[in-house]
Structure 1
């Protein structure tokens, strides 16, 4: 006689009946806010569905800066951190035992957005020489740009780190020819989304480079508060069974850079 599988243990969250999710509001189409201030985006909808499947109320927790977002669950600010967070060794080290990284749910490429007049002027890292670019501080766009500039010894590149991809795209759009930022760097999906909204052009899609000069894939994970028992296990089961709204992204890049 077959023994039926054990039922999954109930999850325990920071606040009973609520799944609190730390999110960075200016990283569309993964996470953003509508003009009415309503949270929206691929990560938002995915985790709303997960919360509903667990019988939990979805509660956004807004964070001002992307850098360090992955440490917030371990600091008891929320049960899960989300907003297109790439799984990097340095970030895992920062979360330590207080946070659990979920299975990968999406793979991203790097890209830049430029004005239409500049569409043919950025096809490789050396084209950034003498230019000003904008990125989210602490993001993988930031890591990739700095790594490539150092690796290729590219001169006179100014990197402006902010906390708002939407504003970065707007500043590129509004810059006069030969003045202001030349491009903004982000994930390909974000660059495509914001370029379409603002009349820019996505260019130079490429794999991420890390500070050691290695090129690697870039998978996204959610980070779960370790003390929110059962949540990580339930989330991994959900990821395995539930397609992400935007698909799996691009897995064409090399492995983890090793």
Structure 2
């Protein structure tokens, strides 16, 4: 299916303004930030932080375009019982492997007996698994989870999902794009666009 999310929407708006064509490639999260430097794409986007990730001589991090908090996407019917980490004993939480959500889930929920599942087949599949009760939550940034909750609302506008346990990590999360350095003009105009549309 089509890849959706706040990162993609932001870059589509950027491309439209610059009159550029968009060609979206789907890759695994691990090592995604290296793709521009390897010449496989111009910009890599997946809610990534620059901290601790060296892009070498062929890639560069953009300015931060968004600050996020951690959150869990759950069934609306569970909102009264799943409000804090200790409530997730025995509950299944899916996260993107090697992501900030993965680190946060291990540190915050695993000690209370939550089952952390580091695999994301697709957003549609995750949403379906939450609704059918196969899993209980999806760990992601609050902006992305809010986007999913709104995107998958039913035709009547009813919200089957809710966000819970919204919190900061110890290191503030400022998201950036990894950009191919061979085209310095691309980095310049992307940063200009970020300055104009920065989301706090």
Alignment TM-score, normalising by the size of structure 2: 0.83
Gaps of at least 5 residues in structure 1 are: 1-24, 32-40, 209-214, 250-258
The two structures, once aligned, show a CA RMSD in angstroms of: 2.4
Separation of aligned partners in 1, 2:36 and 2:44: 6
Which residue of 2 is the match for residue 97 of structure 1? Answer: 57
Q: Which of 75, 88, 96 is equivalent to 2:38?
A: 75
**Whole-angstrom distance in 1 between the partners of 2:10 and 2:193:** 15
The change in CA–CA distance for 1:190 and 1:235 in structure 2 (over 3 A counts) is closer
In structure 2, the CA distance between the partners of 1:163 and 1:74, relative to structure 1 (3 Å rule), is farther
Higher RCO, 1 vs 2 (CA within 8 Å, ≥6 residues apart): 2
Counterparts of 1:1-258 in structure 2, within 5 Å, are: 26-31=3-8, 41-49=9-17, 51-52=18-19, 57-83=20-46, 85-90=47-52, 92-93=53-54, 95-149=55-109, 153-175=111-133, 180-196=134-150, 197-198=152-153, 199-208=160-169, 215-240=170-195, 242-244=196-198, 248-249=199-200
| 2:25 counterpart SS class | strand
The Cα of 1:172 is off from its aligned counterpart by 0.3
Kept in 1: contact 2:12–2:22 (CA 8 A): no
Q: Name the TM-score, length of structure 1 as normaliser.
A: 0.66
Runs of 4+ aligned structure 1 residues displaced above 3 Å come to none
